[in-house]
Amino acid sequence: MKLPRQLLAAVGLIVVTLPALADAVVIEHAQVRAVPPGSPTSAAFMSLHNPAERDVRLVGASTSAAEVIELHNHQSVDGVMQMRRAGEIAIPAGGRVELAPGGLHMMLIGLTEPLVEGESVRIELEFDTGETQALQAPVKRILEQSGNDHAHGHQ
Ligand SMILES: [Cu+2]
């Protein structure tokens, strides 16, 4: 039996649309900070590479391990490092943004489960393109950046 012409056309379409996936943001070195039981917050770090020819903005993230994830940055205010909420994180075309201790990070607020070293947390990223990307971030012991007061005193 021969394959119907329409089916062949549909298969061709799928092959043609696949390269678009190559433009997706590349997520590397994702990790979540292990915290003692009962801790209300933790933080996630990763490297985001945008291979596309247009800028992409990370506008939000979510996980079942916390009630909310906020995008945060650290800023020096009068010589004191303070954590500030970042509305979104721009990843320039062909560029890379590092989320690391002492800088940009994702704040996991209202932890719903213990974050034990060796386990992993599923995080879903949301971009301004309307696309979402899920990743598994291993829970690791991550030291605070030295000289950085990471006291999470948000209002
Ligand atoms: Cu924070």
* 3-state secondary structure (DSSP) of residue 74: strand
Domain ranges of the chain: 25-140
Return per-residue pLDDT of the chain as tens, 155 residues: 566 666 656 655 555 554 455 589 999 999 999 999 999 999 999 999 999 999 999 999 999 999 999 999 988 888 888 889 998 999 999 999 999 999 999 999 999 999 999 999 999 999 999 999 999 999 999 987 644 444 454 43
* 3-state secondary structure (DSSP) of residue 1: coil
Hey, what CATH class is 25-140 in? Answer: mainly beta
Residue 59's pLDDT is what? 97
Residue 49's pLDDT is what? 97
* 3-state secondary structure (DSSP) of residue 2: coil
> Distance, CA 25 to ligand 1 centroid (Å)?
22
> Distance, CA 136 to ligand 1 centroid (Å)?
20
> Distance, CA 153 to ligand 1 centroid (Å)?
9
Residue 87's pLDDT is what? 87
